[in-house]
A = this chain, B = another copy of it.
Amino acid sequence: MEIKSIKYDYNNMMSAYIGEKEGIKPKELSAVKAKAIEAHEYVAKNRGKGMMGWTELPYNQKEIVEDIIFTAKKVRRSCEAFVVLGIGGSALGPMAVFQALCHLRHNDLPKSKRKAPKFYVEDNVDPERMKSLLDILDLNKTIFNVITKSGSTSETMSQYLIIMDLLKKAFGDKAKDHIIATTDKVNGSLIKIAKAEGLKTFFIPDGVGGRFSQLCPVGLFPASVLGVDIKMLLKGAGFADRSARKADFKTNAPLISATLQYIAINKGKNINVMMPYADSLKLMADWFAQLWGESLGKAVDLNGKTVYAGQTPVKAVGVTDQHSQVQLYTEGPFDKVVTFIGVEKYREEVLISGGLDNVPNVSFLSGHTLNELINCEMLATEYALTKNQRLNGMITLPEVNAHTIGQLLMFFMLQTAYIGAMLNIDTYNQPGVEEGKNATYALLGRAGYEDKAKELKSRPEKCPNYIVK
């Protein structure tokens, strides 16, 4: 396979193309260059340390990759359905890579045409959804991968309890053959349980948080079960990482991209729209939404100053959302940056074959391919946004394959690390979710949360006038 780089085109972020009023001026870019270089240095200096263990994943997993591939092969042969029990980073990455690199209707293909088991990722605790899963699974032919670093994620552990109970009732001692755990090597509840039950286990390395975990066993094992070339995925990630070694806007795509977003945020663009023109990349926008939202959405900066930082990610898909969101993007408030993700060469070509000579506003389509149509529509939307002075950039993948997806994952993680450093926040924590977790424990009557339960009870009564039926 020929190695080709993804590219990032930011012409339409700049004043020369988008106009002086909205566009970013070269002098604005120059003004933050020192900050960008500082952010680059910070990331370079902290690579592999603290919560930045993810930067080394393309390079330090040789043995584990062999174990993953070996185990994945066995799993692929021995089950008809493979189910991930996980939420947040333990679900979004596996889903995104599955959709990008497997057949778009993988689960709908007849068994003879599928080279891997059906794939399900369960990232909610909706009882209707859990029941619907049990309705369609043959437990005998199903393997589960429970993923949580701490083992105390209520959602995932609830699912584990339900499934393990069913497996034990069905298979007794053999239940353990149906569950593989991905968790911390030493700490937490899941490793404790896995040891007691004798489960096959993969480990989440230190310094790799949920939303940065797709390139460790969290993402690699499901991908490998599905037949994805995970060595190539890591190669792509390493390729993108090495392209970003210099603090140079001309060669470091994630750095210039982070810098432009930083400027845009300071100009009041509080919305970040990610709009791939490919169904295969739809869930990549979902994965990105967690990465961006959870990393940058912080109340205080590293000096303890209140900042309420963050930019809200919005997921869109081209051309679909042209018929839903583009009216707003073109005519609504000037509050967004839109990033298109284009594909140079789709893996299929479909000719618009039929003809209708007597219907001119349909017949002009005949003889074109869907490939031409989707590409023209992307360029046309880019043109329309630009004409309306809306900031937009474009990432182009030469093709969607394991290497370019590896690049894209690393591009987004580096971009996030850079902008986090520029914003002077802790990119890797998520203190804001603790309040809700503790309230959940209190509402469920967990021991130790009695004070929180009291606090919840002491809230003012809701006003019945403010409830309308």
* B-contacting residues, A285-338, CB 8 Å: 286, 289-290, 293-294, 296-299, 308-310, 312-315, 317-320, 322-336
Q: Is the CB of B87 within 8 A of A104?
A: no
Q: Within 8 Å CB of A250, what residues of B?
A: 465, 468
- Pick the contact of A364 from B129, B249, B387, B447 — CB < 8 Å? B447
Q: Is the CB of A126 within 8 A of B468?
A: no
Task: Compute how far the CA of A359 lies from the CA of B447 in the bound complex, rounded to whole angstroms.
Answer: 13
Stretch of A53-61, A227-235, A349-357 on the interface side: A349-357
Q: Within 8 Å CB of A331, what residues of B?
A: 297-299, 308, 310, 431-432
- Pick the contact of A189 from B308, B362, B456 — CB < 8 Å? B362
Nearest CB to that of A353 among chain B residues? B165
Task: Compute how far the CA of A356 lies from the CA of B162 in the bound complex, rounded to whole angstroms.
Answer: 12
A383 in contact (CB, < 8 A): yes
| Least Cβ–Cβ distance between A391 and chain B, in angstroms | 13
Given contacts A7-B467, A125-B374, A189-B362, 9 further A-B contacts (CB under 8 A): A16-B460, A126-B278, A151-B361, A162-B352, A165-B354, A193-B362, A293-B324, A314-B314, A330-B432
A439 in contact (CB, < 8 A): yes
Task: Compute how far the CA of A289 lies from the CA of B155 in the bound complex, rounded to whole angstroms.
Answer: 27
Nearest first, the 5 closest Cβ-Cβ pairs linking A and B are: A297-B328, A88-B323, A310-B332, A380-B439, A165-B354
Q: Is the CB of B383 within 8 A of A436?
A: yes
Task: Compute how far the CA of A347 lies from the CA of B315 in the bound complex, rounded to whole angstroms.
Answer: 29
| Least Cβ–Cβ distance between A132 and chain B, in angstroms | 4
Q: Is the CB of B7 within 8 A of A383?
A: no
Q: Is the CB of A271 within 8 A of B210?
A: no
| Least Cβ–Cβ distance between A197 and chain B, in angstroms | 10
- Of the A-B pairs whose beta carbons lie under 8 Å apart in the complex, a sample of 16, sorted by A's number, is A105-B132, A125-B377, A126-B370, A127-B369, A127-B374, A129-B279, A131-B348, A151-B359, A158-B373, A161-B354, A162-B353, A250-B465, A309-B333, A323-B433, A384-B435, A388-B432
User: Known interface pairs A105-B135, A127-B369. Does A289 touch B324 (Cβ–Cβ under 8 Å)?
Assistant: yes
Number of copies: 2
Q: How many residues of A contact B (CB 8 A)?
A: 165
User: Known interface pairs A124-B320, A330-B433. Does A14 touch B380 (Cβ–Cβ under 8 Å)?
Assistant: no
Q: Within 8 Å CB of A13, what residues of B?
A: 466
Nearest CB to that of A361 among chain B residues? B152
Q: Is the CB of A127 within 8 A of B349?
A: yes
Nearest CB to that of A371 among chain B residues? B127
Q: Is the CB of A158 within 8 A of B352?
A: yes
- Pick the contact of A387 from B123, B309, B435 — CB < 8 Å? B435
Q: Within 8 Å CB of A130, what residues of B?
A: 348, 350, 370
* B-contacting residues, A235-292, CB 8 Å: 243, 249-253, 256, 270-271, 277-280, 286, 289-290
Q: Is the CB of B8 within 8 A of A468?
A: yes
Contact digits for A430-469, partner B, Cβ 8 Å, 1 yes 0 no: 1111011111111111110000000010011011011111
Stretch of A37-45, A66-74, A107-115, A213-221 on the interface side: A107-115
